[in-house]
Amino acid sequence: MKLIVAVVQDQDSNRLSAALTKGDFRATKLASTGGFLRSGNTTFLIGTDDSLVQKALELIRENCRSRDQMVAPVSPMGGNADSYIPYPVEVEVGGATVFVLPIEHFHHF
């Protein structure tokens, strides 16, 4: 048994949730915030058998795409102002960051 932790951009959340449900995966969605851009993310917790991990990863890959986005950087509060860029910059956002963890025990009460 494995636990898949997938952090995806909010824009991809509904599409991935529908695909996981259609693929017969059960997932818990948690609201989360990215540290770099301080933008909204959704973290999916997916428990699955070892044999289905690749199928889940394919669904995540197909439904979470990266894209370029203009962002206005947050000013450094008390930080080093030398590296602060005061104008919007284009950065790549989206995609998914995925962790696959082994599960020693699983209990459902």
CATH number at residue 28: 3.30.70.120
For residue 80, tell me if it sits in a domain: no
Model confidence band, residue 108 (pLDDT cutoffs 50, 70, 90): confident
Name 32's bridge partners: 41
Buried/exposed 35-44: b ≥16 CB within 10 Å, e otherwise? eebeeebbbb
Q: What is the pLDDT of residue 33?
A: 80
> What pLDDT is recorded for position 85?
59
pLDDT of residue 81: 54
Residue 12 covered by a domain: yes
Segments forming the whole domain that contains residue 10: 2-71+87-102
Banded pLDDT at 9 (limits 50, 70, 90): confident
Q: Is the pLDDT of residue 91 over 60?
A: yes
Report if residue 78 sits inside a domain.
Answer: no
Q: Would 76 be classed as within a structural domain?
A: no
Residues 6+ apart with CB under 8 A from 104: none
Q: Is the pLDDT of residue 78 over 70?
A: no
> Structure pTM?
0.76
Number of domains in the chain: 1
- Asked whether the beta carbons of 102 and 47 are under 8 A apart, the reply is no
pLDDT on residue 25 = 97
pLDDT digit string (tens) for 27-63? 999 998 876 556 678 999 999 999 999 999 999 999 9
Give the closest residue to 47 by CA, choosing from 109, 95, 98, 106.
106
Cβ contact 62:19 at 8 Å: yes
pLDDT given for residue 87 in this prediction: 73
Under a CB-based contact definition with an 8 Å cutoff, are residues 100 and 2 in contact?
yes
Q: How far is Cα of residue 67 from the mean position of the Cα atoms in its chain?
A: 14
| CA dihedral of 49, 28, 43, 1, whole degrees rounded to 10 | -20
- The answer to the question of residue 58 being in a domain is yes
